[in-house]
Copies of this chain bind each other. A is one copy, B any other.
Amino acid sequence: MARPRKPLLSRDRIVEAASALVDAEGLEGVSTRRLAAELGVSGPSLYNHFRTKDEILEAVADAVSAKVDLSMFDADDGREWRQALHDWALSYRAALTEHPHIVPVLARGPGRRPAGLRVADAVFGAMVRAGWPPAQATYIGALMRYFVTGSALGSFARGFVDDATAYDPADYPHLGQAHLLADHQERVDEGAFETGLRALLDGLGVQYEAVRRRPRGPAEARTTVRPAPKPG
């Protein structure tokens, strides 16, 4: 069989199989030959649909971004911007922790991925509507992204070993109980995420009040970052 009358492959089928493989085996488990085998074709066939393996992984990452709920940013649902950011962050993090192995790819940046851009667009638009200056709205999209991807990528607790002898008090005077962290991994990561998210939103609240109070004095315009590259 050289060419079937009905194509055996499609971008969607490839992305679906690649996602399953990434979830099951991690990024290292994905080779073009392995993926092709999973799809019942030979390795080079994939190159009729994607230019590189990396493009396939980008598509997998984008499929995860597409699962992030953005409905809280809808114009007139009566939600406050802080509440919307909060809910979005939870949905964002949930999407990532459901597919942890692809996070390194996704964390590289929103890039050209359509779903990633849709996220950036929604956040930026909602913040501007809420009264944030465009420059700040851009920053908020970026910094929230930093925090959420950072938390999904580097489970803090996962790094600690479940071995009391691993942390010599002479080297790490305050890590006496560190070996216990291995057990409490998830709880610590979630606590840190919640604490950080609350801090972020409270802190943005402070800045929001300041911005609202002096909405755009010319003196400020001179000392501030500059007109404001949009967005997002």
Contact = CB atoms under 8 A, between A and B. Distances in A.
A198 interface: yes
A183 interface: yes
Contact of A174 (B121, B142, B158, B204): B121
A27 to B, nearest CB: 11
Interface string A193-232: 1011011111110110000000000000000011001111
Q: How large is the interface on A (under 10, 10 to 19, 20 to 34, 35 or more residues)?
A: 35 or more
B135 A191 contact: yes
Nearest to A192: B142
Given A111-B159, A167-B117, A225-B191, A196 B147 contact: yes
A224 to B, nearest CB: 10
B154 A225 contact: no
Interface in A32-90: none
Nearest to A106: B154
A110 B114 CA distance: 32
A112 interface: yes
Interface of A: 104, 107-112, 114, 116-118, 120-122, 124-125, 128, 135-136, 138-143, 145-151, 153-161, 166-167, 171-178, 180-181, 183-184, 187-189, 191-193, 195-196, 198-204, 206-207, 225-226, 229-232
